[in-house]
């Protein structure tokens, strides 16, 4: 029997509700979907957040960043005092939210892929994936156009979201989620989505592979998200999260982190028992763990992740004991 990976939780990194954190006053709550871009002497962590709601109680999501001490990934050096991207203009696909965001550095180029949110009437929202580039070292980004780079299409009709960008063997890989159906649970519309992949030679013109990468495990309508892929030990490793389709906002059906591996990025073997990280007995991640981001730095492998209420009180970090 293959042994599970062993992640040692180091604790929470950033809580947006902690008023003592310098520069974070404009963030009301949530620090979601962390994405790390290493610099020489610090780690820049992009994440999504929600300022206070408007007069009608409506929220919008923005993406921003904070910098961590490279030698101590729990030490917050500074928090950006503004979003890295503005919301879209009226009627645009990203008018009401930019969440989540995935940033990659390719030599001097910083490119961000993000989900843009629009509000709907019959269901709460729809999303598509946009792209932007930075010309100031990743502090701010400029959209490459007013529309999405990966929109919904006849075979992927809604909720195109959760982008995770990677480069392997001089090709661009975008792992994302695509909506399968909406179900109604307790008079509330809830989306079911699965993990998919697209490839590109330039990061702008994409070929969708048109199939789910992972089989469902806990139920046919299992929702899967945040597919983060890393190459180590001669194979590709995917850490992702999954939840039940109903009653998933608490501990019983809430998000858990899963694992799969592949030799070619197209055919994946799911083995959640190897993921090696789950909810704690108590504290900020006692009900759910989700939106994993895995990266290697200075000989260590780290995993950033969200806790209860999908990151309402921030994200934490764990370090791998051993190797992938």
244: helix, coil or strand? coil
293 alpha-carbon distance from chain centroid: 7
Mean pLDDT, range 150-164, rounded to an integer: 97
Provide the pLDDT confidence category of residue 1 given band limits of 50, 70 and 90: low
CATH number of 7-320: 2.115.10.20
The 10s digit of each residue's pLDDT in 3-16 is 899 999 999 999 99
For the entire predicted model, the pTM comes to 0.96
Kindly report the average pLDDT of the chain as a whole number. 95
The 10s digit of each residue's pLDDT in 214-250 is 999 999 999 999 999 999 999 999 999 999 999 998 8
77 alpha-carbon distance from chain centroid: 22
Which region holds residue 159: left if phi is over 0, alpha if psi is between -120 and 50, else beta? left
Q: Which of 107, 112, 110 is nearest to 136 (CA)?
A: 110
More confident residue, 19 or 239: 239
**Residue ranges covered by each domain of the chain:** 7-320
Instruction: Give yes or no for residue 19 having a pLDDT over 90.
Output: no
């Amino acid at each position: 029997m293959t042994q599970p990976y062993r992640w040692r939780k180091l604790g929470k990194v950033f809580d947006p509700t902690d008023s003592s954190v310098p520069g974070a006053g404009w963030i009301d709550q949530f620090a979601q979907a962390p994405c790390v871009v290493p610099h020489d002497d610090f780690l820049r962590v992009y994440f999504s957040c929600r300022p206070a709601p408007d007069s009608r109680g409506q929220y919008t999501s923005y993406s921003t960043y904070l910098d961590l001490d490279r030698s101590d990934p729990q030490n917050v050096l500074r928090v950006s005092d503004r979003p890295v991207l503005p919301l879209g203009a009226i009627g645009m696909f990203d008018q009401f939210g930019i969440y989540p965001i995935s940033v990659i550095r390719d030599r001097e180029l910083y490119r961000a892929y993000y989900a843009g949110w629009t509000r709907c009437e019959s269901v709460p929202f729809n999303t598509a994936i946009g792209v932007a580039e930075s010309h100031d070292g990743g502090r701010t980004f400029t959209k490459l156009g007013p529309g999405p780079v990966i929109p919904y299409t006849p075979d992927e009709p809604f909720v195109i979201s959760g982008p995770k960008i990677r480069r392997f063997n001089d090709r661009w890989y975008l792992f994302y989620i695509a909506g399968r159906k909406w179900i109604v649970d307790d008079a509330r519309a809830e989306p079911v989505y699965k993990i998919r992949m697209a490839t590109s030679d330039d990061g702008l013109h994409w070929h969708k592979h048109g199939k789910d990468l992972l089989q469902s495990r806990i139920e046919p309508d299992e929702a899967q998200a945040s597919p983060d892929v890393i190459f180590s030990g001669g194979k590709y490793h995917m850490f992702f999260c999954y939840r039940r389709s109903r009653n998933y906002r608490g501990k019983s059906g809430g998000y858990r982190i899963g694992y799969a591996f592949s030799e070619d990025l197209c055919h994946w073997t799911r083995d959640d028992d190897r993921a090696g990280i789950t909810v704690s007995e108590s504290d900020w991640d006692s009900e759910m763990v989700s939106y994993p981001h895995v990266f290697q730095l200075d000989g260590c492998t780290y995993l950033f992740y969200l806790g209860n209420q999908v990151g309402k009180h921030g994200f934490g970090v764990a370090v791998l004991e051993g190797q992938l």
